[in-house]
Amino acid sequence: MNNIHIQNKESLTYSPKIILLICLALAFAVMNGTMFNIALPDVAETFALRTTQVSWMVTSFITVFALGTLIYGRLADLFPIRTLYTTGIALLALGGLIGFLAISYEMLIIGRIDQAMGAAAIPSLSFIIPVRYFPEHRGQVFGYLAATIAFASGIGPIVGGFVGGILSWRFIFLISVISALAIPIFRKSLPVGSRRPGKIDYIGALLVGLLVICLLFALTKLIVLPLFMAGCVFILLVWRIKAVPDPFINPKMLKHASYSRILLTSFFGTFIISGVLFTMPLLLRELYRSSTMEIGLIMFPGALAAGLLGKYVGKSIMYKGGERFTLFGLMFVTCGTLILSYVIGSSVWIVTIALFIAYIGFPFIQSATADLISQCLDEKESGTGLGLFNLVNFFAGAFSSAFLAKLIEMDEMFAFHPLRTDQANVVYNGIYLILGILGLLTTISFLIGLKKIMQKR
């Protein structure tokens, strides 16, 4: 770490080594959200659980992680990032140890919640660091972060399946424990920082938390009561925002037209990408009878390409701006899903190529929209603004999975494609067509918004 020089307690010199350190921590956090899914059947067998019971292993992590991304973003506006980062890593490692040693399912859930409390800090703070400490390299770092997220999302199930298959599901938890080794390095490398003036609206934070929980339950369980409760909590949250001088979420930020527009673009882009990644393993297992390892190998090229592309996308954003690369990402995702909607049922190699095209849109959208979002915010709003950005993207993934799972259950109603007249059509043709049309509409909307921005300039 010799190239990292802390100029004072509030500054940090840009170094490839600090970026590598942040990306490694981010990879651990992202993999924690994907590599445990493949172990659910083994966990259910160990503790004699029903499917609805074992699903809490996923639901508990999703709920706490989603809420944590926003809370850590707000905390970063007030407290030193070094303190929050090392606290998050410590909680992630502790949760992994609890899960590894769990003697009951309740203890296992506690471990997953602890993991989520820690993991939520890492993506939030990772996107804040370049904005706060080296804005001149912001686009490049966003590219690295987006590449890490894309690669870790794809490699997570493979790692989980490999470790769980050779050893047992318990050893997947030990991967999180390894992250504790990075704590001394973070403590040495990041600025000491100091407490900033301001206070946290704890009532507002509680209302935001309740809103997140209600919405996630409504989306993942597809039931009406949590949605009604979310509406009630939202009304209370609006009242709270208007009633206090320094609310948990500043409404001025949401009234910024460019910020809101980029936030929606990122939401729909992530919705489409998450939908492809959620449905592809199901498709390959159902139609092509692929094994878990074969599914991983089919999805791996896209994840690897996205990881490698992120570096170059980030550098290009620095010189050419995020608008162009957001558009490129939307075009890749749209083309990939539209091709998928037509080739389902064809050779698995053709499906792999179409998936590859869609997948490489991931780092374009993630890094470019993050760069555009950061340009809309002043330094004091960067923590909360980027925290909300991460929360919105997470919601997009959760909503996409729940929505598309429901479409798959409805089966024949969505088994259509206007260019396919044979009998090979299945529900996935219709799903990818819907995602492709959504990508097309999002691209058009982004172009219209971009045109208005250019006219104002």
The model's pLDDT over 293-328, given as tens digits with 9 standing for 90+, comes to 677 778 778 878 877 777 777 778 777 778 888 999
Chain centroid to CA 277: how far?
12
What pLDDT score was predicted for residue 6?
A: 39
pLDDT class for 32, splitting at 50, 70, 90? confident
What pLDDT score was predicted for residue 205?
A: 81
- Find out whether 92 and 193 touch, Cβ atoms under 8 Å: no
Model pTM above 0.85: no
pLDDT class for 211, splitting at 50, 70, 90? confident
Report which of residues 420 and 450 the model is more confident about.
450
Least confident of 180-194, 231-245, 348-362: 180-194
Residues above pLDDT 70, as percent of the chain? 86
Whether pLDDT at 453 is above 50 = yes
Whether pLDDT at 402 is above 80 = no
User: What's the mean pLDDT when you consider all of the chain?
Assistant: 80
Whether pLDDT at 133 is above 60 = yes
3-state secondary structure the chain: CCCCCCCCCCCCCCCHHHHHHHHHHHHHHHHHCCCCHHHHHHHHHHHCCCHHHHCHHHHHHHHHHHHHHHHHHHHHCCCCHHHHHHHHHHHHHHHHHHHHHCCCHHHHHHHHHHHHHHHCHHHHHHHHHHHHHCHHHHHHHHHHHHHHHHHHHHHHHHHHHHHHHHCCCHHHHHHHHHHHHHHHHHHHHCCCCCCCCCCCCHHHHHHHHHHHHHHHHHHHHCCHHHHHHHHHHHHHHHHHHHHCCCCCCCHHHHHCHHHHHHHHHHHHHHHHHHHHHHHHHHHHHHHCCCCHHHHHHHHHHHHHHHHHHHHHHHHHHHHHCHHHHHHHHHHHHHHHHHHHHHHCCCCHHHHHHHHHHHHCHHHHHHHHHHHHHHHCCCHHHHHHHHHHHHHHHHHHHHHHHHHHHHHHHHHHHHCCCCCCCCCCCCHHHHHHHHHHHHHHHHHHHHHHHHHHHHHHC
Least confident of 79-83, 200-204, 252-256: 252-256
